[in-house]
Amino acid sequence: MSILAAIAVLAVLILVHELGHFIAARSQGIHVNRFSLGFGPIIWKYQGTETEYAVRAFPLGGFVGFPDDDPDSDIPPDDPNLLRNRPILGRAIVISAGVIANLIFAYFLLVAQANLVGITQVNPQPGVVIQQLAPDVSSVASQAGIQPKDIILAANNRKFGTSEKEIENLREIIRNNAGNPIQLEIARGDQKLFLTVTPEAKQNGGSIGVQLSPNVKVERRRTSNPVEALKIGASEFQRIVNLTFQGFKQLITNFGETANQVAGPVKIVEIGASIAQNDIGSLFYFGALISINLAIINILPLPALDGGQLAFLLIEGLRGKPLPTRIQDGVMQTGLMLLLGLGIFLIVKETSQLEWVQKLFQ
């Protein structure tokens, strides 16, 4: 059920995106002949007065179709209600409406989470947490009596506060004291312990064989006040948008190091399933996060994305006339093939990394 919940969340986000395009077009009287959720074979369809509504086999996608380039359409090519015959502003509204719909939906998902289950808040605490020990039982940390989840409050009388930089400060003390004993003040549950550990010499300095993490207290803040929920939703929305842009910036500036962290549909579903299994309430946050990412990715000026079509409109506005159809079609088809190729590559790669798939080939 957790996998189905994650797929359902993605399907809803795609539905919201396509509804944005559809509503923006129909509200202006622009002809729309197809509204489809998913790709592949049709498993359900309904023919409306003008539009065919369909649900297809693969829900991780969708599209809104216009009769402009449909050879079977009986609408005259000079009909003012064809999308291509509308002014640039009208077309820009239709193209950008999917992105706007995803951003609005993400905001209200965060408001709903704040109101119904609460927004998770991370409150920094003093000290550095021993996240994990090296698997070698003879490591210096194990010999010193250090255990996972211990909180190091001080090292050689140097107290650690709530800053994330305290992890690096502790690492520096360990690196600079290879072969020299370090006096640790440790909190373990309600106990306070004083242990001595001597880092062993490594190539980059001293090491005690542990993984460190910030000491934080995770709490969930819920409010029944609608106005406060709107404010909390706005704050979380801004935070996620900032983090998303920082992630894209890091991907561009450190592509070699971060390319392997790019997630495709399979990985996203796997993450969503894990969240649904552990905490169904966090699906609100998961949906908002993916919705914001979907919006930002779609607005990038890349062929076959909404941003690519907006780029063509900008060029048309500057030139006073659109680029030749063959150029636009060539660029869009090339971009579509690249995106499909990337999507297929990620799907195959991530499917092969699933635990149950790997067991099939063992």
pLDDT in tens, 54-81: 999 877 788 898 988 777 788 888 889 9
32 DSSP assignment: -
- Per-residue confidence (pLDDT) for residue 43, from 0 to 100: 93
Residue 86, pLDDT above cutoff 60: yes
Mean pLDDT of 344-350: 44
Residue 121, pLDDT above cutoff 50: yes
- Per-residue confidence (pLDDT) for residue 116, from 0 to 100: 86
99 DSSP assignment: H
- Per-residue confidence (pLDDT) for residue 321, from 0 to 100: 84
- Known active-site residue 228: no
Residue 315, pLDDT above cutoff 50: yes
The more confident residue out of 109 and 135 is 109
Q: Please, is 49 exposed, middle or buried when counting C-beta atoms within 10 Å of its C-beta (0-12, 13-18, 19+)?
A: exposed
- Per-residue confidence (pLDDT) for residue 23, from 0 to 100: 96
Residue 259, pLDDT above cutoff 70: no
| Other CB atoms within 10 A of residue 180 CB | 10
pLDDT, tens only, 151-200: 999 999 999 998 878 888 999 999 999 889 999 999 998 899 999 999 98
**Confidence label for 1 from pLDDT (cuts 50, 70 and 90):** very low
Name the 3-class secondary structure at 158. strand
The more confident residue out of 264 and 290 is 290
Residue 98, pLDDT above cutoff 90: yes
| Catalytic-role residue among 18, 166, 185, 350 | 18
30 DSSP assignment: -
Instruction: Tell me the domains of the chain and their CATH numbers.
Output: 2-115+271-360 (no CATH), 122-219 (2.30.42.10)
- Per-residue confidence (pLDDT) for residue 345, from 0 to 100: 45
